Amino acid sequence: MILDLDIGNTLSKWRLKDSVSSEIRSRGAVWTREEWRPGADIPDLDIVDTVRISSVARRSVLAQTEQLLKDRVGAVHVARSTREALGVTNGYVEPGRLGVDRWMGALAGYQLAGASCTVDCGSAITIDFVLPGGRHLGGYILPGLRLMKESLKLGTRNVAIDPDSEADELLAPGRRTVEAVNHGIYMAAVSAVNRIYSEVCDREGVALPMLVTGGDARVVSRGIRVPHAIWPDMVYAGLEACFPLTAAERAGRMAGAPVPPRPVALEKIRAALAFSMLL
């Protein structure tokens, strides 16, 4: 069995994947912050032969986890952001400083669609661009929905945005504090995603397929105006591409990959951008 770990700033996600059939056998998540207890919070290691890790948590969390796993499991692969991988060149001045979850997303997006705008809605919302040909441009980092809400300190943090709300409702003026905050941060997030996507496509002269992942992917997706696909396992897909182990992975098939979204024509993106500037 393969154990895949995606350690984010809020949640540490894990899944067990069958090395033979490539099926996902089980999955879960635990809080990354203080409560993270390597050893207690991850599944039964006796059945695991290989581990793959993407981690952006504190260095000590990764070091502890790695140590624990190395004592118990045959092979442990830890993903790193590099200058180049799988046909993609990292746009960062110092490639190693790009969050490895973003790098995994960029690699997975490129493998799937040959170019991509990857939107990862977690503790932070990150938006990364890879052009046809594999040039990663770099990207954008903004606070995620939960962080934006916490920063306001208005006592509304425990009232989450209902992921089933319609975008129209979420964009209406709030009539109570919780509503005003939820709608405000939602507007901040989705308008940034919509605008950044249009600006970069316009600038680069190419309409890119958009892929959305992370804990808030579903709710953010409702406010995104351009065609896109949600890909919950996108970071894991980057791990599969970097460290292929199963027959399916060696053949380039990534678990849970969506049908690549077909972007709208560049002219339409440009027209919408020009129009929005007039208002």
Segment lying near ligand PAZ (by CB under 6 A), choices 13-21, 66-74, 92-100, 156-164:
92-100
CA distance 183 to 145: 10
Question: If contact means CB under 5 to 8 A according to the sort of partner, which of ligand ADP, ligand PAZ, K ion, none does residue 99 touch?
Answer: ligand PAZ
Name the minimum Å distance from CB 119 to ligand PAZ: 11
Secondary structure tally for the chain: helices H, strands E:
9, 12
139 binding K ion? (CB under 5 A)? no
- Among all residues, which ones are annotated catalytic? 101
Give 86's contacts (C-beta < 8 A, 6+ positions apart): 107, 110, 111, 241, 242
246 binding ligand ADP? (CB under 6 A)? no
Applying CB under 6 A, among 1, 5, 10, 14 the residue interacting with ligand ADP is 10
CA distance 176 to 238: 41
Question: If contact means CB under 5 to 8 A according to the sort of partner, which of ligand ADP, K ion, ligand PAZ, none does residue 11 touch?
Answer: ligand ADP
Start-to-end Cα distance in the chain: 55
CA distance 237 to 16: 13
Footprint of K ion on this chain (CB under 5 A)?
120, 122, 124, 126
Pick out the residues of the known binding site: 6-13, 92, 99-102, 120, 123, 177
Footprint of ligand PAZ on this chain (CB under 6 A)?
8-9, 56, 97-99, 101-102, 120, 122-124, 126, 141, 144
